[in-house]
Chain A
């Protein structure tokens, strides 16, 4: 069974940094991109960007560029989302999602999602 297991809830203070993990199982980690999606309280979903686990190539949404970093550790089949200089507006649930591909057109869609990590930033 394909699973993406995310790290637990976090409470942070403004200005601190945070790393969320997303450990995958049930498939070959390097074969599928990982996307990150945010949902702020009372708001909709926002795509943050994605990373290719095979070579750590990244693509960031313009809304998040410079504030987040995606990382990979292939030895433990885990993707990471690093957020720096946290603000109250970073309070949200963060999801990782596997991007599956439709051959031969190489269309990517998010077919399996992590369980979500709740982040609260408060002084």
Chain B
């Protein structure tokens, strides 16, 4: 089975600074169509998860441009610039290439504000 590994598992960021979360997969997430099958989700405290990024680097509707996704092959990064208090929560990467029947989430990275 494919394994998704996130790092760090937690980080504390000062408002206004940037934060980066790494996601590494055990197999390449490059589809033959040239796209990377990797999403990023955020689950804020007490809320349902929400989509941030799909296909590695495409921001979902309504997501601020402070959030950006990048990467290739097996290594991906979510970058949050100018972190705000409202960005706290658990960030998950998820691969959608090696299906059926599996979509696989990373362990999650908890972001808190200093």
Q: Which residues of A contact B (CB under 8 A)?
A: 35, 37, 39, 44-47, 49, 59-62, 65, 95, 97, 102, 105, 107-111, 113-116
Contacts and interface: CB of A to CB of B under 8 A. Distances in A.
Nearest to B102: A61
A35 B100 CA distance: 13
Given A97-B49, A107-B55, A113-B50, 17 more contacts: A39-B43, A44-B106, A45-B49, A45-B94, A47-B103, A59-B100, A60-B101, A61-B101, A62-B102, A102-B54, A105-B33, A107-B35, A108-B96, A110-B39, A110-B41, A110-B49, A111-B60
Contact of A109 (B96, B99, B107): B96
Given A102-B55, A113-B48, A107 B105 contact: no
14 contacts: A37-B49, A45-B43, A47-B104, A47-B105, A61-B102, A102-B55, A105-B35, A107-B55, A108-B96, A109-B39, A110-B39, A110-B49, A113-B48, A116-B48
| Residue among A39, A44, A108, A114 with the highest chain B CB neighbour number at 10 A | A44
Contacts of A61: 101-103
Interface in B26-44: 31, 33, 35, 37, 39, 41, 43
B19 interface: no
Interface of B: 31, 33, 35, 37, 39, 41, 43, 48-51, 54-55, 60-61, 90, 92, 94, 96, 99-108
B53 to A, nearest CB: 9
Contacts of B54: 102, 107, 109
B11 to A, nearest CB: 16
A10 B59 CA distance: 35
A44 B90 contact: yes
A113 B60 contact: no
B57 to A, nearest CB: 13
Given A95-B49, A111-B51, A45 B92 contact: yes
Given A107-B54, A110-B51, A113-B48, A45 B100 contact: no
A111 B51 CA distance: 6
A113 B43 CA distance: 11
B108 to A, nearest CB: 4
B41 A45 contact: yes
